[in-house]
């Protein structure tokens, strides 16, 4: 839409159109399209409903196996699973590979004490990744995480 402007000088000259673009309708249309796509995208991702054939085969394992847990206490000692005796760093990777039975996709949870040296936790994580474990996760307490993110 062009808007006519009144020229000054008191004379009746031809009025010139204003050369500004109003982007408000464009923004409104884009927001409506955004909402439409946000609503329809999950519906499109479900796929086509089909009736699957019945079979007597056993189902595949669901991956509900228990993960490996490696703990670093505040003194820097490393423990595997529920063991109460510490493990030497040199023995850690071979022990975990033997426990995982060559399944390097198995989840490994690394628990580091709040007072443990950061370097020790990083060394243990590097050992796990060096052994070939691809799914190493660091476990944190949600209360500790909230305290750390609030800066104190």
Question: How is the chain split into domains, by residue range?
Answer: 68-149
Residue 55 pLDDT greater than 80, yes or no:
no
β-pair type (107-112, 135-139): parallel
135-147 average pLDDT score: 67
Residue 76 exposed, middle or buried by CB count within 10 Å (0-12, 13-18, 19+): middle
Residue 125 has a CB neighbour count (10 Å cut-off) of 19
Mean pLDDT of 12-30: 83
Q: pTM of the full predicted structure?
A: 0.51
Mean pLDDT of the chain: 75
Q: Which of 4-13, 37-46, 74-83, 106-115 has the least mean pLDDT? A: 4-13
- Look at the chain and count its residues: 152
Write down the pLDDT at residue 137: 80
Class of domain 68-149: alpha beta
What does the pLDDT read at residue 82?
79
For residue 142, pLDDT beyond 70: no
Q: What is the pLDDT of residue 47?
A: 47
Mean pLDDT, rounded, for 115-122 = 83
Helix (H, G, I), strand (E, B) or coil at 8: coil
Give residue-wise pLDDT tens across range 74-100.
888 888 887 788 888 888 888 888 887
Three-state secondary structure call for residue 108: strand
pLDDT at position 48 is: 47
């Amino acid at each position: 839409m062009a808007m006519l402007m009144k020229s000054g000088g008191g004379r009746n000259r031809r009025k010139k159109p204003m050369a500004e673009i109003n982007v408000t309708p464009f923004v409104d249309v884009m927001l409506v399209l955004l909402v439409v796509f946000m609503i329809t995208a999950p519906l499109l991702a479900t796929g086509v409903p089909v009736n699957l054939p019945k079979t007597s085969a056993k189902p595949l394992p669901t991956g509900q196996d228990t993960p490996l847990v490696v703990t670093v206490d505040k003194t820097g000692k490393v423990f595997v699973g529920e063991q109460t005796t510490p493990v030497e760093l040199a023995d850690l990777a071979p022990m975990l590979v033997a426990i995982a039975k060559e399944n390097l996709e198995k989840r490994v949870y690394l628990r580091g004490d709040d007072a443990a040296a950061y370097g020790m936790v990083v060394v243990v994580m590097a050992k796990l990744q060096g052994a070939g474990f691809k799914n190493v996760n660091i476990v944190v307490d949600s209360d500790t995480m909230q305290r750390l993110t609030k800066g104190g």
